[in-house]
Structure 1
Amino acid sequence: MKDIKNLLVPIDFTKESVAGLKAANQFATKFKGKVHVVHFLPYHPVVTPVYPGDNSMSVNKVVQEQQMEREKIHVLRKLKTEMDLYLSEDLRGQIYIVSDTLNSGMNDLLDDIKVDLIVSGTSGSSNLIEKFSGNNTEKMIRKSGIPVLAVSNYADVSLDDVLIATDLSTELPTRLYDMCRLLENHGATIHFVNVNTTELLNEADILPKMSALVKALKIRNFRIHIVSNKGEVNGIMKVVDKIHPGLILMKTYQKSSFWTFFEGSLAEKVIHETEVPVLVEQV
């Protein structure tokens, strides 16, 4: 996997999006990349009477265009202010203002520009952001096909210790393991975590499989953690509390039978339980 050179941060001027911008600044510093920002400006038609005193209405396109232009100028100033406050000058990339909702506008934008990582602030509790008709981070993880770094509460992002949760399934999240190798090349120790939720297996059964997996991935600087716990999230959080990683890597799925903006997925639950940034890769 090539270095992360282009990061994209959606900004809606909430404290959550500011947290994402701060985290992106640290990642871009580490990987010598550029941070681009995007704001979605949904279409709001201006409706006026067709004739004076007439109850019928029509969209006044001229007024609409003038209103949109004023809003774009206002948003552009605010975005530049955010970038000046939270981004190092040499890391500042492009500013995008998209006249659409995040749900449909993000896909169109990603068709036009090259992005290696999306960095998005999200609430760390069940009371999710309802901007753009749903949680920003959840929609991007589902739709973009690009790794998404979810930051629930900004703190210094350390890449010295990175945790990756694995279930040893045959459906390997290849790009996540590429990310492991990339982070290892930048000095990280990779902590592989398996949560044993069944009494049918013990550590002696799992450890050889974990060791074989790490060997196949050609990761040299690593630790293996096997936790017996009936709850996967609880097991992962025990390791998080023990080693205090600076980043958690997880996979999630895009299957219509499984998804409701990945509600109920393990990745979503971990994001809600921790303030550690979680990088999610779609399988």
Structure 2
Amino acid sequence: MNKILVPTDFSKEAESALKVASQLAKKYNSEIYLLHMLEIPMQETDAVSAQADVPEVMFFMKLAHQKFEDMMNSEYLKGITVHEIVKPDGAFSGVIDVCHENGVDLIIMGSHGASGIKEMFVGSNAEKVVRSSDIPVLVIKNDHDDFAVNDFVFASDFKNDNKETYKQATEFATAFDAKIHLLMVNTASNFTTTSKAKQRIDSFISDYNFKNYTVNIYNDDSVEKGILNFSKDIDADLIGISTHGRQGIAHFFNGSISEDLVNHAKRPVVTFKI
């Protein structure tokens, strides 16, 4: 966890994400890349690509830099190497491009919570970042004075195409010294016996040496409810889920889980791309 990217629109939610990033940066001696994507009117797009001194663009870039200066004076950022990046491009692909250009290991984003991932900062583009990012994305809903992960729920259908995400989850858990609670949710429409479910999970994790885990089969009305209810029951610090890239959160677990999980979870959620 050497490099952490935090997209920001300078909102309270974005600051909550930055505060978590600062805690991780201090713990793991990481650098933070603070990114602001300018939302430029469509009529200015061609002009922006043609020249960088368009008055409107320059105004908003200077305003962003002023806000960055104020933010850099925050006590929680002292002692941390923070790179300031302003991009005159609101496209979500710009976030991923910045990550690839700088070798970012983790994206941390703020969310308004139950009002929906579509209202996350950077507009609706944040949903696309979570969907398409090949880098783990940690979604923060609230302020965390001490961001610690002791109990980490990894929810899956435990089919082979998810194995790479489990590897990422174990690395994440190892970094936090957390216990992973492997969770498979049973529903009436997609029922698996406990015995068969455990066999599938055992087979799924057999190639990995990670030992700090529990195996859990949970029955509920829907997979989404099962994940949320189980996480609440054990007071989990974090929920981990898999995404199928451009198909998005709405299609992880082979299409059976909707974006409602991220929208409705009151606790942090981390996504891993299959």
TM-score range, shorter chain: 0.7 to 0.9
| Structure 1 pair 97–149 and aligned structure 2 pair: CA distance change class (3 A) | same
| Structure 2 match to 1:174 | 164
Written as runs of structure 1 = structure 2, the 5 A alignment for 1:38-77 is 38-44=35-41, 65-77=54-66
> Structure 1 residue runs of 4+, over 4 Å off?
44-47, 61-64, 130-133, 258-262
| Structure 1 pair 108–15 and aligned structure 2 pair: CA distance change class (3 A) | same
Checking the alignment, whether the CA contact within 8 Å between 2:36 and 2:85 is kept in structure 1 is yes
Distance across 1 between alignment mates of 2:259 and 2:241: 10
Deviates more, 1:208-217 or 1:7-16: 208-217
Name the TM-score, length of structure 1 as normaliser. Answer: 0.81
1:121 to 95, 103, 110: 110
Post-superposition offset of 1:191: 0.8
Instruction: Indicate the SS of the match to 1:101.
Output: coil
Distance across 2 between alignment mates of 1:173 and 1:208: 15
Checking the alignment, whether the CA contact within 8 Å between 2:4 and 2:32 is kept in structure 1 is yes
Distance across 2 between alignment mates of 1:44 and 1:214: 49
Q: Deviations over 1:20-66 (max 9, x none)?
A: 1112122223322111101112335899xxxxxxxxxxx8x999534
Written as runs of structure 1 = structure 2, the 5 A alignment for 1:93-172 is 93-127=82-116, 128-129=118-119, 132=122, 134-136=124-126, 138-155=127-144, 156-172=146-162
| Structure 1 pair 14–186 and aligned structure 2 pair: CA distance change class (3 A) | closer
Distance across 2 between alignment mates of 1:46 and 1:203: 58
| Structure 1 match to 2:236 | 245
Post-superposition offset of 1:187: 1.6
| Structure 2 match to 1:275 | 266
| Structure 1 match to 2:225 | 234
Distance across 2 between alignment mates of 1:45 and 1:209: 50
Instruction: Indicate the SS of the match to 1:225.
Output: strand
Checking the alignment, whether the CA contact within 8 Å between 1:195 and 1:226 is kept in structure 2 is yes
Checking the alignment, whether the CA contact within 8 Å between 1:152 and 1:275 is kept in structure 2 is yes
Percent identity over the alignment is: 23
| Structure 1 pair 154–140 and aligned structure 2 pair: CA distance change class (3 A) | same
Checking the alignment, whether the CA contact within 8 Å between 1:196 and 1:228 is kept in structure 2 is yes
Indicate the RMSD between aligned Cα atoms, in angstroms: 3.0
Question: What are structure 1's unaligned runs of at least 5 residues?
Answer: 48-58
| Structure 1 pair 103–181 and aligned structure 2 pair: CA distance change class (3 A) | closer
Question: What are structure 2's unaligned runs of at least 5 residues?
Answer: none
Instruction: Indicate the SS of the match to 1:250.
Output: strand
Post-superposition offset of 1:86: 6.2
For residue 11 of structure 2, what is the amino acid of its counterpart?
T
Q: Number of paired residues?
A: 266
Checking the alignment, whether the CA contact within 8 Å between 2:249 and 2:259 is kept in structure 1 is no
Instruction: Indicate the SS of the match to 1:119.
Output: strand
| Structure 2 match to 1:91 | 80
Larger gyration radius, structure 1 or structure 2:
1
| Structure 1 match to 2:16 | 19
Distance across 2 between alignment mates of 1:109 and 1:265: 31
